[in-house]
Amino acid sequence: MDRITVNLAAADLRKEGAAFDLPMALGILSATGVVKPGLIEDAIALGELSLDGHIRPVRGVLPVALLCRRRGVPRPLVPAGNAAQKSATGGSMGRW
């Protein structure tokens, strides 16, 4: 059985909210070959990963999506429950 260790250093920086679990899961899935690396390369993942594996919508998608557009991030990935914010940016964004 293989092990995967995720290091959330530095310990003195507070980590809260749902900003870490989904990107870590996508990184692990990519590293193990479950998700092709090219699918998430140059992407930002927004959403909350539930304990049963579903991706839940989150608050604050619109400002992040607009920042991604200004900074040239080609693929902000958003939960299907955030589709209204996605359409408000006028850009194409992936969704789950």
Give, for all 96 residues of the chain, the pLDDT tens digit: 688 888 888 888 887 776 788 888 998 998 889 998 788 888 888 889 898 989 999 888 888 888 888 898 888 888 889 878 867 776 554 544
pLDDT given for residue 92 in this prediction: 53
CA separation for the pair 19, 57 (Å, rounded): 12
Considering the entire predicted model, what is its pTM? 0.74
* Cβ neighbours around 88 below 10 Å, total: 12
Copy the structure tokens of residue 93: 């964004």
User: How is residue 45 annotated by DSSP?
Assistant: E
- Decide if 23 contacts 47 (C-beta within 8 A): no
